Structure 1
Amino acid sequence: MTFSKILYETLDGVALITLNRPERTNALDQEMLGEISAAMDLAEADPNVRAVVVRGAGSAFSSGFDLKAQMEARPAGVDEWRPLLRKDFDTVMRFWHCPKPTIAMVRGPCLAGACELALACDMTIASEDAFFGEPELKFGAGIVVMLLPWIVGPKIAKEIILLGEDRVSARRAAEIGMINRVVAAERLEDEVLRIARHIAAVDPGLIKETKRALNRALETQGLLQALESALEIDLAIEGAGSADKIAFFDVARREGLRAAIAWRDSRFPSPGA
C-alpha cells in the first residue's frame, strides 16, 4: 500500500507509523486520518507485528487537526460536521482499541487532536523538548476526544482545557500522568524501540488479553459512553459555530493562521498579569 502523508514500516516486530507532513507540523487532515486508519489495519492484520509506535517526522509530533484544511473547506451545520468529527474520533480511538500495544513517541508540539491521539495510546514517551496541550477553547472549538479527565482527573483536565493550555512541558505532563516518561531528545527513538521490543517479546495473546483487561477497568466506569456523549456535545458546538471561531477564521483568511493565533492569544491576560 502506498501512502502520501504517513510512512509505514516494520522493524523487529514493531510497526512504525510516521506522521509525514513536517512542512505543516504534521497536522492531521482527513486524508492523513484515512491513511493512519489503513496503517492500523495493516499492523493489526500482520501476525509479525506485536507493537505499534506512532511518531512525527521532523521536529514535531503534530499540531493537531488541520485548521487550514478546515478553514478552506468551511464545513457548516451538524450534517456537514458529523462525518468529519466521526472520522477524527474513530481514528484517534484506533490506538485505544488496537489489540496490540500502542506507543506514542513525542518530540516537539503534541497539541489538540494529536494530544488526544497520544493519550489514546497505551504509553507515551516524550523527549525533553516535547510539549502538550488542548488549546481548542481559545479559538472557539470543542474537544473531539475527551480522554484527558480519564487520564489526569477532572480538576487538572478542567484547568488545561478551560484555560486552553498549549505549553504543558514534558516534565509537567509526566508529573500529572499524561505521559509515562521523559528522555533526552537524542535517546528518544532508542528508548521507545527498546520498550516496544520488550513488549514484542511477550506472548501476543497474553498482551492482547491483558490490554483488554486494563482498558476494561475504565470502560466499565463508562469511559466509552462518556466519550461518545462528549463527541455529540462537540458536534453541537461545531454545528452551531461559535462567535470566537468565526472571528478566528476571519482573521486567518485575511492575514493567515499565524496572525490568527496571535490575535487569539492577544485576547487573554499574559501569565502573571
Structure 2
Amino acid sequence: MSLIELVRGADGVAELVLNRPEKLNAFNTEMLDAFSDAVDDLTGDDSVRCVLLRGEGRAFSVGYDVQRAGSTGSGTGEPRPAHPSAYTDWSRLKRNLDRWLAVWDLDKPVVAAVHGHCIGGATMLCVCADLTIVAEDASIAWPSVPLGGGLLSPVSLWLTGMKRARELSYIAGSAMSGSEAADLGWANRAVPAADVLADARATARQIARMPASLLRLKKLALNRVMEAQGFRTAFQFGAEWDAIAHTTPEHEVMAAQIRDHGLKDAIAWFQDGGSIDVTPTATAATDRYL
C-alpha cells in the first residue's frame, strides 16, 4: 500500500491523498518522502490545474509520528541520538518545513479538505495550502505535550491573529474546532463533516476551469505579497526555535517519558499534573550576586 496516493482526474483536478489511515495519517519518514515525490511529480504538469489534498480514514493527519521511542517530534519518526548537535536537529527540521513550502510554491492552487484531527505539523501543511475546507467538528490541535518551541503558532498567527496564536502556543493540547478555525480565517469555511470532501471537490473543479497559466500568475501574485510581509521568513524560523527548544533539559524530561512509557501514557502523565520543570542548579550559587 502506498502511503501517498496521487490520482489525476480528467477535470484538471488531482487528488493527493495521505494514506496511512491505521495511524491516522501520522507522518513518518517514508510517508514524508513519498509526499515530496508526489509534489515534485505535480510541478510543471499543466494537465493538473488544481490539487485536492485530503486524508484517508478518520482523520486528515495527526501530524508528525512521535510514537517511536526517543523521537524528537521533528517529523522523521526516527530515534534521535541522546545529544544531537543543534545544527543537525535544525537541518532535519528545515527539511520537513521545506516539504510544506513546496506546497506553498507549487505552480497550481492546493485545496485542503480537513476532517477529524489535524494536529501539529499537519496544521503547517494546511497553512501552506491555498484554500482549506474544514469539517465543523474537526479538531485543529497543538501537541498534547510540550516538545518544541516556536514552530506552529508563528505560522498560524498569520491566519488566526496574535492573541489566539499565543493561547494556542502557550497551553499544551490547545485546539480549535473547525467552526472556530473558519471564523478566525484559518480555514475558508466550515461545513458538516459529511460534506467536506464534496465541497472541496466542487471548489477544486471550479478553480480548475481557470487556465493553468493564469492560476500560476495569480498564486505567485498573492504569495509575493505574503512573503513581502515576512511569511516565508517566519515559517523557516520555526526550525531554529524548535532546534533550540530540543536542547533544553525540560525537553529531555518529556522525551524520556515518551521513550520509557509511550506517547499515550506520557500525555496522560502530563495532563495529570506531571512536571517537566528542571530545578536550576548550576546558576543557583551565582543568582544571589546578580
Q: Taking structure 1 as the reference length, what is the TM-score of the superposition? A: 0.89
Segments of structure 1 that go 5 or more residues without pairing to the other structure are: 269-273
Gaps of 5+ in 2: 72-77, 275-290
Which residue of 132, 139, 145 maps to 2:146?
139
What is the identity, as a one-letter code, of the residue corresponding to 2:244? A
Q: CA deviation at 1:242?
A: 4.2
Q: Deviations over 1:217-263 (max 9, x none)?
A: 2111122223233322222222x1441x3223322233221101111
CA RMSD of aligned residues (A): 1.9
SS in 2 for 1:139: coil
- Partners of 2:16 and 2:174 lie apart in 1 by 24
CA distance in 2, matches of 1:143, 1:34: 24
CA displacement 1:178-231 (0-9 Å, x = unmatched): 111111222211111100000000111111111111112211112222323332
Contact 1:25 1:62 in 2 (8 A): yes
Aligned equivalent of 2:181, options 165, 168, 173 = 173
**Aligned partner of 2:116 among 108, 113, 117:** 108
Larger radius of gyration: 2
Cα distance in 1 for partners of 2:195, 2:161 equals 30
Partner of 1:43: 42
Please say which of residues 147-156 and 108-117 is displaced more in the overlay.
147-156
Superimposed CA distance per residue, residues 86-139 of structure 1 (whole angstroms, 9 cap, x where no aligned partner): 221011111211120011111111011001111111111111231102237x42
Letter in 2 for 1:187: D
**Moved beyond 6 Å, runs of 4+:** none
Give the number of aligned pairs.
263
Aligned to 2:21: 22
Q: Quick check: 2:90–2:242 contact (8 Å CA) kept in 1?
A: no
Could you tell me how far apart the structure 1 residues matched to 2:66 and 2:179 are? 28
| 2:4 matched residue in structure 1 | 6
Choose from 260, 277, 282 the match for 1:254.
260
**Secondary structure of the corresponding residue to residue 67 of structure 2:** helix
Aligned equivalents of 2:172, 2:258: Cα separation in 1: 19
Q: Percent identity?
A: 34
Give, as a single letter, the amino acid of the residue that structure 2 aligns with 1:257.
L
Tell me the equivalent position of 1:218. 226
- Report the Cα distance in structure 2 between the residues aligned to 1:14 and 1:184, rounded to whole angstroms: 23
The answer on whether the counterparts of 1:85 and 1:144 sit within 8 Å (CA) in structure 2 is no
19-28 or 65-74, larger mean C-alpha shift: 65-74
In structure 1, distance between residues paired with 2:243 and 2:257: 23
Distance 1:122 1:38, change over 3 A: same
- More divergent stretch after superposition (60-69 vs 3-12): 3-12
Quick one: distance in 2 between partners of 1:7 and 1:184? 25
SS in 2 for 1:68: coil
